[in-house]
Amino acid sequence: MQLKKFKYMRQGSSRPCESLGDLLLHQLMFFLLFLLMYLFTLLGNLLIMATIWSEHSLHTPMYLFLCALSISEIFYTFAIIPRMLADLLSALHSIAFLACASQMFFSFTFGFTHSFLLTVMGYDRYVAICHPLRYNVFMNPRGCACLVAWSWVGGSFMGTVVTTAIFNLTFCGPNEIHHFACHVPPLLKLACGENVLEVAKGVGMVCITALLGCFLLILLSYAFIVATILKIPSAEGRHKAFSTCASHLTVVVVHYGFASVIYLKPKGPKSLEGDTLMGITYTVLTPFLSPIIFSLRNKELKNAMKKAFLSKLYPEKIY
């Protein structure tokens, strides 16, 4: 029997020692915090996209990939956070079966698109530093468009595979999801049948293989990048070369750091609260940090933002 609707069960929301007033206050505080972080994420990514669009000097492959990354982050957060915010203000935490499947599909699609784009950006930095004379040949407009398109195709493929595998299972009561969104582990706990374990192992293997594959390709790119940078004779030249990779490398560490905890952490019988906390951190905090990192760690983008926007507010100043 397939369930037509799931109910979200918030971790710790049913403690007997917690009054209704305290619970509502905590929910309101979390709502305001997540809302502000979500709005900042949207604003930051839209600001990056607008800057790249308006500044001709940023019409390069590196910033094309960054623009595509911002789009994937906007869609990823839009697939999960608005629903989570609505549930924080609602007494009925329920979601329809098809809505749950859609949320899982889009979250996995844009999440893995994000990973693939980070891998493409690592390859772009590898070509720029290790093969600068052939950069325009390797990273021509047609090739860049294909890399972005295949990243989106790969993300869509991952979303389709995971969602199809999970929602072809049979779900039998209770229909309570111990999570803030339709994620794989809490849904697997609601499934019944002989093939649940095989599906769980298959989905886990596919996700881990894709993430580790992307991460290893990024590591390989940076191994060649570091080897090339160390051959540069001047300290200034080495610093300039590495500074072009600093923002991307920081985002990679944050993204894969949280992703590895979620997908590689051993699943125990009492790990639901930890999974929920890490899921919220990965969903809300990682997209929140990404535009900050790219804006502050990328000198060229930061100067372009000042030129594009602050010069309009304060035209008497020179940026």
> 236 CB contacts (<8 Å, ≥6 apart)?
none
Pairwise CA distance, residues 87 & 209, whole Å: 33
Pairing assessment for the beta strands 170-171 and 191-192 based on DSSP bridges: antiparallel
Residue 253 class from Cβ within 10 Å (0-12 exposed, 13-18 middle, 19+ buried)? exposed
Q: In the prediction, which pLDDT does 14 show? A: 43
Q: In the prediction, which pLDDT does 12 show? A: 43
Pairwise CA distance, residues 60 & 306, whole Å: 19
Q: In the prediction, which pLDDT does 173 show? A: 67
How far lies 283's CA from each of 74, 78, 108, in Å? Answer: 11, 10, 11
Pairwise CA distance, residues 263 & 180, whole Å: 17
Q: Do the Cβ atoms of 108 and 75 come closer than 8 Å?
A: no
Q: In the prediction, which pLDDT does 316 show? A: 57
Q: In the prediction, which pLDDT does 7 show? A: 56
Q: In the prediction, which pLDDT does 228 show? A: 92
Q: Do the Cβ atoms of 110 and 76 come closer than 8 Å?
A: yes
Q: What is the pLDDT of residues 264-312, one digit of tens each?
A: 665 555 555 556 666 777 788 888 988 888 877 777 787 787 776 666 6
Q: What is the pLDDT of residues 243-267, one digit of tens each?
A: 888 888 888 988 888 777 766 665 5
Q: In the prediction, which pLDDT does 188 show? A: 86
Q: Which residues of the chain have pLDDT under 70?
A: 1-23, 173, 262-278, 308-319
Q: What is the pTM assigned to this prediction?
A: 0.86
Which CB contacts under 8 angstroms, 24+ apart, belong to 96-103?
Answer: 96/4, 96/5, 97/2, 97/3, 97/4, 97/5, 97/6, 100/6, 100/177, 100/182, 100/187, 101/163, 101/167, 101/182, 103/79, 103/181, 103/182
Q: In the prediction, which pLDDT does 258 show? A: 76
Q: Do the Cβ atoms of 183 and 283 come closer than 8 Å?
A: no
